[in-house]
C-alpha cells in the first residue's frame, strides 16, 4: 500500500506522544505512522493497545541517540515528516540527573536532525521536521504578562535548558541547511495516561491511596494547564497549516496556583468517590520547595488562534473531570506504572518510605 505521508513520531509511547499517535493513526488512515520510542520508565505501550493493530501503525523500539538505528528508520520507511516528542520530560529528575537530559534532549535531537538532513538532502520540498517543545524555555514570569513567540529564551532548570538547546539546534538546521522545520512551545498538559510523577496524576494517585499530597514551597507557583488532546489537535493544525521556519505557542489561558488546583482535585475526588467533603484536603502537606522553582508560566497563543484558527475543545472543569474518570476507570494502568522503579523514585524524591 502506498501512503500519502510516512510520519516518524518519536516518543509516541509517552504521555503526549501516545495521544498524538492515536489522533494521527485514526484520523489519517492514508498516512503511515512509525512510532519510535526507547521505552524508558516513561514510555508505555499500554497507552496504545487500542490502535496497535491498525494497518497504518508501526512500533519501533529505538533510541533517538542511536544514529545507525535512526538513519535506518528514515531509509526503511521513506520518512518524509518527523513529529519529535521523545525527551526526558520531568524537571525534578533533571535536577538530580542533568546528563540524561543533555543526552536525550540535546544529543538525541541533533541525531534526528542529522538523519533528516541526510535523508532529505536536495529533496526538502514536502518534508517537515516538527519539533515539540515547551513554554519552560522562556523562563519564569512575575505576577503579570505572557510568553509570546518573541519572548527571549531564559531557561532555568536543566530540563528547560536542554529543551532550549534543542530548539536552538532545530532553528540552526533551518537557517544553515534549509531543513524545513516548525517548532511549537506548549504549556503544562494534563489528561489520561499522564505519568504519576507530575503534579496532577501524582495528586490523583495519592488521594486514591490516602497518601500525603506534597505541595512544593507555599503552593503559590502558577501553571497554565491544557488538556492533552487539545495539544494533539494543535500539533495536527500546525503540521498541516503552519508555515515552515515558524514557531507557535500553544496554551489555553488557564492559569492555576498549585495549591488551588490541589484543593479542586481534592474536592472533585471526594465527590466522585463518595467520600466525606473535605477528607482529601487533610492529605495536603507542604514540603521543601523545588530548587530554582519557576514562579509562573502563562502562554499567549494568539498567533495560533488567529492565524490557524485552533481553539481548545474543553474547559478545565470538563478536562479535569474526564481525567479523573479515566484514572478511576484505569486502576490497572495506574498500578502497573506505580510499581517497581516508581517506588524507588518516589522514596528518593519525597524521602518517604513506602
Ligand atoms: P513523557 O516523559 O511522558 O514521554 C517521553 C517519551 O519519550 C517516553 O515514551 C520515553 O520512552 C521516550 N524517550 C525518552 N528518551 C528517549 C530516547 N532517548 N529515545 C527514544 N525515546 C525516548 O513526556 P511527555 O510529557 O509526553 O512530553 C513529550 C514532549 O512534549 C517532550 O518533548 C516534552 O518536552 C514536551 N512537552 C511536554 C509538556 C507536558 O506538560 N508534559 C508540555 C510541553 C511540552
Ligand atoms: O510547562 C510545560 C512543562 O510542564 C513541560 O515542559 C514539562 O515536561 C512538564 O513536566 C511540566 O513541568 P512542571 O514542572 O510545570 O510540571 P510538574 O507537574 O512537575 O509540576 C507542576 C507544578 O507543581 C510545579 O510548580 C511544581 C509543583 N509540584 C510538582 C510536584 C511533582 C508540587 O508542588 N509537588 C509535586 O509533588
Asked if residue 177 lies in contact with residue 115, where contact means CB atoms within 8 angstroms, the answer is no
User: Considering the domain boundaries, does residue 286 fall inside one?
Assistant: no
> Which residue CA neighbors atom 19 of ligand 2 most closely?
198
Q: Is the pLDDT of residue 25 over 50?
A: yes
Residue 102 backbone dihedrals phi, psi, to 5 degrees: -60, -40
Q: Is the pLDDT of residue 219 over 80?
A: yes
237 membership: H or E segment, kind and range: helix 228-241
Q: What is the pLDDT of residue 353?
A: 46
DSSP string of 139-163? --B-SS--B-TTSPP---SHHHHHH
115 membership: H or E segment, kind and range: helix 109-120
User: Considering the domain boundaries, does residue 207 fall inside one?
Assistant: no
Q: How far is CA 141 from CA 72, 90, 168, 220, in A?
A: 42, 20, 21, 13
CB of 14 sitting under 6 A from ligand 1: yes
90 φψ region: left (φ > 0), alpha (ψ -120 to 50), beta (else):
beta
For residue 186, which atom of ligand 1 is closest to its CA?
A: 43
User: Is residue 7 classed as helix, strand or coil in its secondary structure?
Assistant: strand
DSSP string of 173-216? HHHHH---EEEEEE-EEESTT--TTSHHHHHHHHHHTT--EEEE
Q: Is the pLDDT of residue 280 over 70?
A: yes
User: Considering the domain boundaries, does residue 273 fall inside one?
Assistant: no
User: Is residue 134 classed as helix, strand or coil in its secondary structure?
Assistant: strand
Give me ligand 1 centre to Cα 140, in Å. 21
**Which candidate, 3, 19, 115, places its Cα nearest to that of 11?**
19
N-terminal to C-terminal alpha carbon distance within the chain: 52
Give the active site residues. Answer: 135-136, 159
Banded pLDDT at 351 (limits 50, 70, 90): confident
Give me ligand 2 centre to Cα 91, in Å. 7
User: Is residue 6 classed as helix, strand or coil in its secondary structure?
Assistant: strand
Q: How far is CA 114 from CA 67, 71, 100, in A?
A: 9, 9, 20
Q: What is the pLDDT of residue 94?
A: 98
Sheet holding 222-227, edge to edge: 188-190, 222-227, 255-257
Whole-angstrom distance, CA of residue 34 vs CA of residue 13: 11
User: Considering the domain boundaries, does residue 331 fall inside one?
Assistant: no
User: Considering the domain boundaries, does residue 281 fall inside one?
Assistant: no
Determine the average pLDDT of the residues in 2-15.
98
Give me ligand 2 centre to Cα 214, in Å. 12
Q: What is the pLDDT of residue 352?
A: 64
User: Considering the domain boundaries, does residue 234 fall inside one?
Assistant: yes
Distance of CA 199 to the CA centre of its chain: 13
270 membership: H or E segment, kind and range: helix 258-273
User: Considering the domain boundaries, does residue 150 fall inside one?
Assistant: yes
Q: What is the pLDDT of residue 1?
A: 81
Whole-angstrom distance, CA of residue 62 vs CA of residue 140: 34
Q: In CATH, what number is assigned to the domain containing residue 37?
A: 3.40.50.720
Q: What is the pLDDT of residue 332?
A: 96
Name the domain count of the chain: 1
Whole-angstrom distance, CA of residue 250 vs CA of residue 188: 10
What is the pTM for the complete model shown? 0.98
Determine the average pLDDT of the residues in 9-38.
98
Q: What is the pLDDT of residue 216?
A: 98
For residue 222, which atom of ligand 2 is closest to its CA?
A: 25
Determine the average pLDDT of the residues in 181-186.
99
Residue 270 backbone dihedrals phi, psi, to 5 degrees: -60, -45
Please report how many Cα atoms fall inside a 13 Å half-sphere around the Cα of residue 146, on the Cβ side.
18
Asked if residue 240 lies in contact with residue 83, where contact means CB atoms within 8 angstroms, the answer is no
**Which candidate, 16, 58, 10, places its Cα nearest to that of 38?**
10
CB of 223 sitting under 6 A from ligand 2: yes
Mutate to test the pocket of ligand 1, among 40, 88, 224 (most ligand atoms within 8 A of CB): 40
Whole-angstrom distance, CA of residue 100 vs CA of residue 334: 25
Query: Any idea which ligand is nearest the CA of 157?
Result: 2
Mean pLDDT score of the chain: 97
Q: Which domain holds residue 84?
A: 5-189+227-253+293-314+341-353
Q: What is the pLDDT of residue 286?
A: 98
User: Considering the domain boundaries, does residue 162 fall inside one?
Assistant: yes
Amino acid at each position: 500500500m502506498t501512503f500519502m505521508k510516512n510520519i516518524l513520531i518519536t516518543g509516541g509511547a509517552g504521555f503526549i506522544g501516545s495521544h498524538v499517535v492515536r489522533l494521527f493513526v485514526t484520523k489519517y488512515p492514508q498516512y503511515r505512522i512509525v512510532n519510535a520510542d526507547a521505552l524508558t520508565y516513561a514510555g508505555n505501550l499500554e497507552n496504545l493497545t487500542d490502535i496497535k493493530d491498525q494497518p497504518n501503525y508501526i512500533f519501533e523500539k529505538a533510541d533517538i541517540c542511536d544514529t545507525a538505528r535512526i538513519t535506518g528508520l528514515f531509509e526503511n520507511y521513506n520518512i518524509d515528516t518527523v513529529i519529535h516528542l521523545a525527551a526526558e520530560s520531568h524537571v525534578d529528575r533533571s535536577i538530580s540527573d542533568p546528563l540524561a537530559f543533555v543526552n536525550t534532549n540535546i544529543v538525541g535531537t541533533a541525531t534526528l536532525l542529522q538523519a533528516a538532513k541526510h535523508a532529505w538532502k536536495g529533496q526538502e520540498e514536502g518534508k517537515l521536521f516538527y519539533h515539540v517543545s515547551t513554554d519552560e524555555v522562556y523562563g519564569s514570569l512575575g505576577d503579570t504578562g505572557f510568553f509570546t513567540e518573541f519572548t527571549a529564551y531564559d531557561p532555568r532548570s536543566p530540563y528547560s535548558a536542554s529543551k532550549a538547546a534543542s530548539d536552538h539546534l532545530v532553528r540552526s538546521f533551518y537557517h544553515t541547511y534549509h531543513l524545513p522545520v516548525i517548532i511549537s512551545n506548549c504549556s503544562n498538559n494534563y489528561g489520561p495516561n499522564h505519568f504519576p510523577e507530575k503534579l496532577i496524576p501524582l495528586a490523583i494517585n495519592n488521594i486514591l491511596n490516602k497518601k500525603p499530597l506534597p505541595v512544593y514551597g507555599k503552593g503559590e507557583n502558577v501553571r497554565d494547564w491544557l488538556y492533552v488532546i487539545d495539544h494533539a489537535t494543535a500539533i495536527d493544525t500546525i503540521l498541516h497549516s503552519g508555515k515552515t521556519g515558524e514557531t507557535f505557542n500553544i496554551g489555553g489561558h488557564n492559569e492555576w496556583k498549585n495549591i488551588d488546583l490541589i484543593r479542586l482535585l481534592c474536592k472533585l475526588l471526594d465527590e466522585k468517590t463518595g467520600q466525606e467533603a473535605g477528607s482529601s484536603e487533610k492529605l495536603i502537606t507542604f514540603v521543601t520547595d523545588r530548587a530554582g522553582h519557576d514562579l509562573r508560566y502563562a502562554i499567549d497563543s494568539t498567533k495560533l488562534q488567529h492565524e490557524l484558527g485552533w481553539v481548545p475543545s474543553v474547559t478545565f472543569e470538563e478536562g479535569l473531570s474526564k481525567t479523573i474518570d479515566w484514572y478511576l476507570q484505569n486502576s490497572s494502568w495506574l498500578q502497573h506504572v506505580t510499581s517497581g522503579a516508581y517506588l524507588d523514585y518516589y522514596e528518593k524524591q519525597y524521602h518517604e518510605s513506602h
